């Protein structure tokens, strides 16, 4: 796409348009919405991990004035909360409210009352008789004959599918000839890795407000990464025409993938509002939100063949995934995980992936910052470090010899979405990072002594920008936009793209301003709902700027064509002989004759004259699909300190390289990279969600008790966090841009773990690296060295 012009806003740090509202508390999020006459909702959640509901008595709750909702009030339409994949490839196993609990904390009934306190009292007054069933919590146990079965049948699209041994999905992918590749290798390595569940920990919990309108329609405000996905699912479960459902786009307090699907509370809230005939607001408490969705845990066995000169000849990954009690698309999760594995290195084209995803009586899992990428990256990048140490290779050189770069094929979210890499910052990040950290001269772990030992580790990663490939119909990925020039020269921009807080909306405004050459403050981001703007699949897959921005670029270019056509009629010139420039002196966009700027008109004057002549508004709306999904790359060089007495890991210094193409706002990109390091640090060292298998309840009782995430005190000093943006330009992106969001997390975990190995010489295959785990490993090694059994 077009290069940026001189003096462009793109690539410049500008104040955020939403900054003042956010820091002053004036910004309205879904949980802030208040509607006159509104009732407050509350949920009765399952006290058991697996139980049938035998009877329900809501008499006492209704005496309090509460409106009660049970599974008997709802048609049991099967659906999947996530609607990114095409329907024929989507498994469906849930209803709005079930007659059987399949995990602790699952919503079973709902009430609405005039106050929140009354709603909670009414929930406690509902009497439920359960038949408690045996539960299963580990995928290996769930797959055994005789294990408790969560489902006998589910649906793939509209086709009924039997479930055997709780196996929800099997995805096996093979390419090339792995056996021949392994036969060519001089050494074969095989290791196993495990990553557990963690909580998204977004700032705003799941929320929905639903208002029945006098004409029979409903207005919805919800925590949503896709307003149209919410509209379409509500239409399905409510049996309501989409023309009667308006989902309003609002900023929300972060997601990290936790709202890629339609959240469980939203259809429940809609049914409550329709039954009550009044607006209803339903907000999850933080402790409830822990049982909403979690990150996919995974267990991997990785086998790699390597020649003596450092060529990786073949790789085979076996994956076992526990996705919990309901499917929020583990099928594409396995495909994506295979794609992340396949696209990190070339492997001489010989790869195999065998994936199995299993039902258990745990909280359902959904996408979280990479959709399998951080999990498989930890395994593969740990393997690269293991091979380097065992065979005496430089970890930098081994990566440089085998990485996929410009001209190589890339799998964007799975084997069916393939494209060619056209921009790549991998080599720059590895070469410069090696020099800046003096990586080749780091000390070996067996030379280090003392109570606190320092290590330096490296890992690289990537993510895709969107999910589109050259072939259509494999996955839903397009966006829409509306651009309108006003009669004073300002511009209205409508987009269905949501903003998670990273500045996506300002990036789209910049794209519009650059195409039309108007001052940025004249581009207004108009309120939008599903009744006002076309479809966007979802703000996920690091696609906001690349895909949503491409739609804005496409539509703005059409508006520019129309503007030049109208200007030509007014100026008695051919449109091709005109150009649009920005006039800072007039604080306007200007159309002028090429090479003769004296003959010109402001954009405002052109729009006003078009109105006076009844030629119409200069506007355009359309949808646009990107036919590529370019990888955005990251590389982390991390220094750690390990206290040999306590097992505590600290990070005194980190160097981060990010390749996002041409950055829309460099400071915001750097902020995303630093923020994602914080999230990855927590994933690696602190966070875990152990389950009490006697009750099915989480051992963690919330953020204030024992779910630890890194605070500013655990982060390295800001002066010791260096972020470098690679010098790349993505030719298929709007003004050379691609994404960064999920890539920013992908390689954090492996980099920290590799640094820990360099510090103390112990390889960890399972996250998190808690002080207890590290100290136990240190004592086990000491006992082995002494020939004794560790206590």
Q: Where in the chain is the domain with CATH 3.30.365.10?
A: 19-27+478-624, 399-468+629-786
- What does the pLDDT read at residue 472? 85
Angle between helices 426-437 and 395-402 (to 10 degrees): 170
Asked whether residue 789 carries a pLDDT value surpassing 80, the answer given is no
Residue 43: predicted pLDDT: 98
Residue 362 clears pLDDT 60, i.e. is over it: yes
Radius of gyration of the chain (CA): 27
| 640 HSE (CA, 13 A, CB side) | 30
Residue 757 parent element (H or E):
helix 748-760
Burial 108-120 (b: 16+ CB within 10 A, else e): bbbbbbeeeebbb
pLDDT of 90 strictly over 90: yes
Write down the pLDDT at residue 633: 98
Tokens in use for 39?
């009732």
Distance CA 150, CA 139 (A): 12
**Rounded-to-integer distance, Cα 717 and Cα 721, Å:** 7
Q: How far is CA 517 from CA 8, 41, 307, 482, in A?
A: 9, 48, 55, 17
Q: What is the rounded distance in angstroms from the CA atom of residue 286 to the CA atom of residue 307?
A: 51
Question: How do residues 554-595 score in pLDDT, each as one tens digit?
Answer: 999 999 999 999 999 999 999 999 999 999 899 999 999 999
pLDDT attached to residue 474 = 78
User: The domain 19-27+478-624 is classified under which CATH number: 3.40.50.261, 3.40.50.1010, 3.40.50.2000, 3.30.365.10?
Assistant: 3.30.365.10
pLDDT at 2 over 90: no
Neighbour count for residue 386 (Cβ, 10 Å):
18
Q: Distance between CA atoms of 356 and 5, rounded to whole angstroms? A: 50
pLDDT above 90 (res 493): yes
pTM for this entry: 0.96
pLDDT in tens, 116-157: 999 999 999 999 999 999 999 999 999 999 999 999 999 999
Averaged pLDDT for residues 517-530: 96
- Report how far residue 90's alpha carbon sits from residue 153's, in angstroms, rounded to the nearest whole number: 14
Confidence at residue 790, expressed as pLDDT on a 0 to 100 scale: 54
- Label residue 473 by pLDDT band (50, 70, 90): confident
Give me the mean pLDDT over the 65-90 stretch: 93
Mean pLDDT of the 671-681 span: 97
3-state secondary structure 161-205: EECECCEEEEEEEEECCHHHHHHHCCEEEEEEEEECCCECCCCCC
Q: Which CATH number fits domain 399-468+629-786: 3.40.50.450, 3.40.605.10, 3.30.70.100, 3.30.365.10?
A: 3.30.365.10
What percent of the chain has a predicted confidence (pLDDT) above 90? Answer: 94
**% of the chain exceeding 70 in pLDDT:** 99
Residue 339 in contact with residue 370, Cβ under 8 Å? no
Say how far apart CA 123 and CA 460 lie, in whole Å.
Answer: 49
Give me the chain's average pLDDT, please: 96
Distance CA 61, CA 706 (A): 34
**In whole angstroms, what is the distance from residue 266 CA to residue 235 CA?**
12
Contacts 24+ apart (CB under 8 A), 156-162: 156/88, 156/89, 156/90, 156/91, 156/92, 157/87, 157/88, 157/89, 157/90, 157/92, 158/87, 161/91
pLDDT in tens, 199-222: 999 999 999 999 999 999 999 999
Model confidence over 737-782: pLDDT tens digits?
Answer: 999 999 999 999 999 999 999 999 999 999 999 999 999 999 999 9
pLDDT over threshold 60, residue 489 = yes
Whole-angstrom distance, CA of residue 374 vs CA of residue 636: 13
Both tokens of 608, joined, read: 């006003």
How is residue 353 written in tokens? 């992936």
User: What's the pLDDT at 469?
Assistant: 86
Higher-confidence residue of 469 and 529: namely 529
Contacts (Cβ under 8 Å, ≥6 apart) of 131: 51, 52, 54
CB count within 10 Å of CB 538 equals 28
Residue 538 near residue 572, CB atoms below 8 Å: no
Structure-token pair, residue 739: 């994404």
**For position 389, what pLDDT does the model report?**
97
User: Model confidence over 367-422: pLDDT tens digits?
Assistant: 999 999 999 999 999 999 999 999 999 999 999 999 999 999 999 888 889 999 99
Alpha helices in 28-167 (DSSP H): 59-63, 116-125, 139-142
Choice among 219-228, 648-657, 700-709 with the minimum mean pLDDT: 700-709
Residues with Cβ < 8 Å from 769, sequence gap 6 or more? 649, 684, 685, 752, 753, 756
For residues 310 and 308, give the distance between their C-alpha atoms in angstroms, rounded to a whole number: 5
pLDDT for res 791: 53
For CA atoms 92, 93, 95, 96, give the dihedral sign.
Answer: negative
What confidence score (pLDDT) does residue 83 get?
Answer: 85
pLDDT single digits (tens) 611-644: 999 999 999 999 999 999 999 999 999 999 999 9
Q: What is the pLDDT of residues 415-465, one digit of tens each?
A: 889 999 999 999 999 999 999 999 999 999 999 999 999 999 999 999 999
């Amino acid at each position: 796409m077009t290069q940026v012009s001189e003096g462009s806003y793109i690539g410049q740090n500008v104040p955020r348009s939403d900054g003042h509202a956010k820091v002053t508390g004036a910004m309205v999020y879904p949980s802030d919405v208040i509607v006159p006459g509104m009732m407050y909702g509350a949920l009765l959640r399952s006290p058991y991990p697996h139980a049938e509901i035998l009877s329900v008595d809501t008499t006492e709750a209704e005496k309090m004035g509460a409106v009660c909702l049970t599974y008997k009030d709802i048609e049991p339409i099967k659906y999947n909360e996530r609607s990114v994949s095409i329907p024929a490839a989507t498994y469906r196993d849930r209803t709005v409210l079930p007659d059987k609990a399949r995990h602790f904390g699952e919503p079973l009934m709902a009430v609405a009352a005039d106050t929140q306190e009354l709603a909670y009292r009414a929930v406690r007054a509902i009497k439920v008789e359960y038949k408690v069933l045996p539960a299963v919590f580990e995928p290996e146990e769930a797959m055994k004959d005789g294990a408790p079965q969560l489902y006998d049948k589910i649906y793939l699209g509209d086709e009924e599918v039997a479930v055997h041994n709780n196996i929800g999905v099997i995805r096996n992918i093979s390419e090339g000839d792995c056996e021949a590749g392994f036969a060519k290798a001089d050494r074969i390595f095989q290791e196993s890795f495990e990553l557990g569940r963690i909580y998204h920990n977004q700032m705003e919990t799941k929320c929905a407000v639903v208002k029945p309108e006098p004409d029979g329609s409903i207005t919805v405000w919800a925590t949503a990464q896709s307003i149209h996905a919410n509209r379409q699912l509500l239409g399905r479960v409510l049996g309501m025409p989409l023309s009667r459902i308006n989902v309003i786009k609002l900023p929300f307090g972060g997601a990290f993938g936790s709202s890629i699907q339609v959240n469980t509370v939203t259809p429940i809230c809609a049914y409550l509002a329709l039954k009550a005939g009044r607006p209803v607001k339903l907000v999850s408490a933080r402790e409830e939100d822990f049982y909403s969705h979690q990150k996919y845990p995974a267990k991997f066995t990785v086998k790699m063949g390597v020649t003596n000169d450092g060529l990786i000849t073949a790789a085979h990954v076996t994956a076992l995934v526990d996705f919990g009690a309901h499917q929020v698309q583990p099928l594409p999760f396995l495909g994506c995980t295979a794609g992340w594995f396949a696209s990190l290195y070339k492997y001489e084209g010989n790869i195999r992936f065998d994936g199995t995803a299993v039902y258990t009586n745990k909280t359902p899992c959904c996408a979280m910052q990479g959709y399998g990428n951080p999990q498989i990256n930890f395994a593969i990048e740990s393997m690269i470090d293991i091979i380097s140490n065992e065979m005496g290779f430089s970890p930098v050189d081994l990566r440089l010899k085998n990485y996929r770069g410009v001209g190589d094929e890339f799998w964007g979210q799975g084997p069916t979405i393939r494209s060619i890499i056209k921009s790549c910052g991998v080599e720059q990040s590895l070469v410069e990072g090696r020099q800046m950290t003096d990586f080749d001269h780091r000390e070996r772990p067996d030379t280090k002594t003392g109570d606190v030992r320092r290590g330096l580790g490296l890992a690289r990663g990537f993510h895709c920008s969107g999910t589109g490939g050259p072939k259509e119909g494999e996955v839903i990925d397009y966006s829409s936009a509306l651009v309108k020039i006003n009669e004073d020269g300002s511009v209205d921009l409508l987009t269905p793209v949501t903003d998670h807080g990273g500045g996506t909306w300002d990036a789209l405004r910049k794209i519009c301003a650059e195409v039309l050459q108007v001052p940025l403050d004249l581009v207004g981001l108009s309120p939008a709902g599903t009744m006002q703007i076309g479809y966007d699949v979802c703000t996920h897959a690091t696609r906001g700027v690349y895909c949503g921005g491409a739609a804005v670029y496409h539509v703005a270019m059409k508006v520019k064509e129309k503007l030049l056509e109208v200007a030509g009629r007014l100026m008695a010139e051919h449109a091709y002989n005109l150009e649009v420039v920005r006039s800072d002196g007039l604080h306007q966009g200007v159309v002028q004759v090429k090479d003769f700027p004296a003959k010109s008109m402001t954009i405002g004057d052109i729009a006003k004259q078009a109105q006076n002549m009844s030629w119409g508004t200069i506007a355009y709306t359309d949808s646009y699909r990107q036919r590529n999904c370019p990888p955005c790359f990251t590389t982390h060089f991390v220094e750690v300190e390990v206290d040999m007495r306590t097992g505590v890991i600290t990070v005194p210094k980190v160097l981060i390289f990010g390749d996002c193409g041409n950055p829309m706002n460099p400071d915001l990109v750097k902020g995303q990279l630093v923020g994602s390091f914080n999230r990855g640090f927590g994933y690696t060292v602190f966070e875990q969600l152990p389950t009490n298998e006697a009750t099915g309840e989480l051992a963690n009782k919330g953020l204030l008790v024992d779910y630890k995430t890194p605070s500013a005190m655990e982060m390295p000093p800001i002066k010791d966090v260096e972020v470098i943006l690679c010098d790349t330009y993505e030719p298929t992106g709007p003004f050379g841009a691609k994404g960064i969001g999920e890539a920013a997390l992908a390689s954090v975990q492996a980099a920290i773990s590799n640094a820990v190995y360099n510090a103390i010489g112990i390889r960890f295959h399972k996250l998190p690296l808690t002080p207890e785990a590290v100290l136990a490993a240190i004592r086990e090694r000491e006992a082995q060295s002494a020939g004794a059994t560790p206590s």
